[in-house]
């Protein structure tokens, strides 16, 4: 579904790579946490999957497409298979809930009939029944994130990318969002979520990929969030991954 | 559905940027008016050239008693010399170029002079014998005057061979200079218009960067994203070009037809026929420039 082959990403003006020869594969239907300190390469990873950035070296395959050979004209059509959620929601402030979700369908040319059917469905799924005429500033943070999730999944994407979706939310609201993401994952959508929220990762016990300075520190199934109380450079990579098993 | 959405985007963009849009309209209006005027002026020059050059004759001036210039030796051209010129004009070498020619005697020249300079004190001093006898030649092709000059100016009794077109050149030079000035101003204004359109579109895109970001995120095609912006620039420029077209038509109708044609009856002037060529051209230039500059301006927001 998503495969990184020795992918290196170097930003101009910074000799240290954001991702350093990363190789990994994410399968259909998986729920993956990307963890690591700020600047460890989580966002770069997500941007590379979205083809918002080009890798400096290496190959990326997403949904059977080799991103290196994808022409920029075809990128929009490729992105229709991906849903994205951000920490800051990125809703349109002057559009109400329904229109915010409908907007993403309108701009990819869906028919009015399809929109009238799909939007209420997805709003029901994310638990926003009866709030479709509210404006974003009239909603709580958790509700705004639900609108953003509804927008991301209304087109039934194969992959949902979430960049710290609970970063602005309190723990109980976050739990609600995680339940929602779990439900989306259960319906077959691959979910990749970058997060700093140790509680969520520990509780969910899903695949965890930990990045540090552009390298994969560990990649484990059914794992928890590892705090970084111990300086990483002081310990070998293998030691850390062992500690991951212990937690 | 999608068309409606695009048009709605265009409408909101134009409203949000009203003052910039007005300035785009004005700058394209002024610049295209200059372009159109310059084009009309060139057409006018060509028309006048055709008209006057057809009327322009080549004068073969013959010697008078007082003349010492050219081939003259202070003696009036003899009848033999006049006949020689006449023969030369009728010879197979020159006759293909000559449409018609006639001889003007000193008395003919005197009466024409009296008529032409009726108000001038010079008429009192000039006597018929001061004036040249002249062959007036109309050429089939007015640009071939040099052939006549070459073969006739060396004949005895010929003072000079003058192409009257030479008298017209300063006038056309002046008109050409005016037209080039108009073109120069037009080019400067067009550059300003293009930059202004680009700035307006960037501003419009900046004020909608959230929408643009989301559109790119959810996979709206580039065509779909850029069309409203290009249309925005084109519509603003279109209004300007229509105003310019109206101004050009007004100039032709009120100034050329209403003033010049009435007051300068001897001269041919351009009419609405020429304006009908220039106006669509001006509108087309406006649309193409606006579409191109808007396209370049928005491209930055479409990078993937």
State whether ipTM is beyond 0.90: no
The SS3 call for residue A22 is: strand
> How many residue pairs from chains A and B have C-beta atoms closer than 8 A?
59
Give residue limits of the domains in chain A: 2-81+159-246, 92-156
Q: Which of B163, B196, B224 is the last residue of a domain?
A: B163
Q: Which residues, at least 6 apart from B13, have a Cβ–Cβ distance to it below 8 Å? A: B204, B208, B228, B229, B232
Residue A245 pLDDT: 46
Identify the domain containing residue B214 by its residue range: 2-53+169-302
Of A73, A103, A112, nearest to B214 by CB-CB distance is A103
Mean pLDDT, residues B191-209 taken together: 88
What are B75's two structure tokens? Answer: 């003696």
Domain A2-81+159-246: give its CATH superfamily. Answer: P-loop containing nucleotide triphosphate hydrolases (3.40.50.300)
| DSSP code, position A15 | -
Would the pLDDT of B123 be above 60?
yes
Q: What is the mean pLDDT of residues B126-150?
A: 84
In terms of domains, do B62 and B182 share one?
A: no
Nearest residue, CB atoms, A92 vs list B210, B220, B225:
B210
Q: Which of B211, B219, B304 sits opposite A108 (nearest CB)?
A: B219
Identify whether residues B262 and B186 lie together within a single domain. yes
A61 vs B69, more confident: A61
- What distance in Å separates residue A115's CA from the closest CA in chain B? 11
Q: What is the mean pLDDT of residues A112-131?
A: 93
Position A234 pLDDT exceeds 70? no
**Position A246 pLDDT exceeds 60:** no
The pLDDT assigned to A27 comes to 94
**pLDDT reading at A166 higher than 90:** yes
Give the max Cα distance, chain A.
Answer: 60
Q: Do B139 and B231 fall into the same domain?
A: no
Backbone phi, then psi, for A179, in 5-degree steps?
A: -60, -40
A72–B304 C-beta distance less than 8 A:
yes
Please give the Cα distance from B213 to A140 (Å, whole number).
23
Q: At B25, phi and psi to the nearest 5?
A: -60, -45
From B2, B213, B304, residue closest to A51, measured CB to CB: B304
Task: Examine the domain organization and report whether B13 and B146 are in the same domain.
Answer: no
How far apart CA B31 and CA B54 sit, in angstroms, is: 35
Query: What 3-state class would DSSP assign to A229?
Result: coil
Residue A83, SS3 per DSSP = strand
**Per the structure, how many domains does chain B have?**
2
Q: Which of B130, B163, B196 is the last residue of a domain?
A: B163
Indicate whether B29 and B108 sit together in one domain. Answer: no
Burial of B170 (0-12, 13-18, 19+ CB in 10 A): exposed
Instruction: Let me know whether B130 and B67 are in one domain.
Output: yes
As separate numbers, helices (DSSP H) first and strands (DSSP E) second, chain A gives: 8, 10
| A8 touches A33 (CB < 8 A) | no
Domain boundary residue, one of B126, B141, B163: B163
B184 and B39: one domain?
A: yes
What is the CATH number for B92? 3.30.70.3040
Question: Which one is predicted more confidently, A243 or B158?
Answer: B158
| pLDDT mean over A169-175 | 92
**Is the per-residue pLDDT at A134 higher than 80?**
yes
* Same domain as B63, residue B17: no
Count the neighbouring beta carbons within 10 Å of the beta carbon of residue B29: 23
Residues B42 and B84 both lie in one domain: no
Residues of A whose CB is below 8 A from B222: 72-73, 76
pLDDT in tens, B225-261: 888 889 999 999 999 999 999 999 999 999 998 898 8
Q: Spell out which residues of chain A touch residue B214, defining contact as CB-CB under 8 Å.
A: 90, 92, 103-104, 107, 151
Looking at residue A236, its pLDDT comes to 52
Q: What residues of chain A lie within 8 A of the CB of B221, using their CB?
A: 76-77, 108
Strands A57-62 and A65-66: antiparallel
Residues B123 and B267 in one domain: no
pLDDT of the residue at A231: 47
**Considering only CB atoms, which residues of chain B are within 8 Å of chain A?**
1-2, 5, 210-211, 213-222, 224-225, 304
Alpha helices, H only, chain B:
2-16, 18-55, 79-90, 106-116, 122-125, 145-152, 165-207, 209-218, 222-250, 261-263, 272-299
Tokens of A72: 């920029």
Q: Are B120 and B134 within one domain?
A: yes
Would you say residue B120 has pLDDT above 80? no
B69 plus B20 within the same structural domain? no
B14-36: average pLDDT: 90
């Amino acid at each position: 579904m998503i495969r990184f082959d020795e992918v290196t990403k170097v930003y101009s003006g910074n000799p240290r790579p954001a991702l350093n020869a990363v190789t990994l594969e994410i399968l259909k239907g998986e729920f993956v946490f990307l963890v690591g300190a700020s600047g460890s390469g989580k966002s770069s990873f997500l941007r590379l999957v979205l083809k918002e950035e080009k890798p400096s070296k290496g190959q990326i395959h997403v949904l059977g497409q080799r991103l290196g050979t994808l022409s920029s004209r075809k990128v929009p059509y490729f992105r229709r298979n991906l849903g994205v959620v951000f920490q800051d929601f990125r809703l349109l402030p002057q559009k109400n809930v329904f229109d915010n979700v409908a907007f993403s369908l309108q701009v990819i040319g869906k028919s009015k009939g399809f929109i009238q059917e799909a939007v209420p469905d997805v709003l029901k799924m994310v638990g926003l029944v009866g709030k479709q005429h509210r404006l974003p500033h009239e909603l709580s943070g958790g509700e705004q994130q639900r609108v953003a999730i509804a927008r991301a999944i209304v087109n039934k994407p194969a992959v949902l990318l979430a960049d710290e979706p609970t970063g602005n939310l309190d723990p109980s609201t976050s739990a609600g969002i995680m339940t929602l993401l779990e439900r989306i994952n259960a319906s077959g959508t691959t979910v990749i979520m970058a997060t700093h929220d140790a509680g969520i990762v520990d509780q969910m016990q899903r695949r965890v990929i930990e990045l540090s300075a552009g390298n994969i520190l560990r990649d484990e199934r059914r794992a928890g969030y590892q705090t970084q109380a111990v300086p990483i450079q002081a310990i070998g990579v293998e030691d850390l991954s062992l500690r991951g098993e212990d937690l | 559905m999608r068309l409606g959405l695009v048009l709605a985007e265009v409408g909101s963009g134009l409203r949000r940027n009203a003052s910039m849009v007005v300035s785009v309209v004005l700058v394209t209006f002024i610049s295209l008016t200059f372009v159109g005027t310059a084009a009309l002026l060139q057409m006018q020059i060509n028309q006048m050239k055709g008209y006057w050059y057809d009327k322009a004759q080549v004068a073969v001036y013959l010697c008078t008693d007082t003349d010492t210039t050219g081939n003259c030796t202070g003696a009036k051209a003899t009848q033999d010399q006049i006949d020689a010129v006449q023969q030369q004009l009728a010879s197979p070498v020159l006759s293909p170029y000559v449409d018609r020619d006639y001889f003007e005697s000193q008395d003919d020249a005197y009466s024409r002079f009296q008529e032409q300079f009726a108000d001038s004190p010079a008429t009192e001093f000039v006597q018929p014998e001061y004036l040249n006898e002249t062959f007036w030649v109309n050429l089939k092709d007015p640009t071939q005057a040099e052939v006549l000059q070459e073969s006739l100016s060396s004949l005895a009794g010929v003072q000079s061979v003058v192409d009257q077109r030479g008298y017209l050149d300063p006038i056309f030079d002046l008109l050409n200079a005016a037209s080039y000035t108009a073109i120069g101003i037009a080019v400067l204004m067009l550059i300003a218009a293009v930059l202004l359109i680009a700035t307006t579109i960037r501003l419009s895109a900046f004020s909608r960067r959230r929408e643009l970001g989301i559109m790119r995120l959810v996979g709206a095609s580039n065509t779909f994203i850029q069309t409203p912006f290009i249309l925005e620039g084109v519509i603003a420029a279109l209004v300007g070009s229509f105003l310019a077209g109206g101004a050009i038509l007004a100039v032709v109708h009120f100034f050329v037809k209403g003033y010049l044609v009435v007051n300068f009856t001897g001269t041919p002037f351009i009419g609405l026929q020429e304006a009908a060529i220039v106006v669509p051209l001006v509108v087309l230039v406006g649309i193409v420039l606006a579409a191109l500059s808007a396209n370049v301006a928005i491209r930055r927001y479409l990078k993937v």
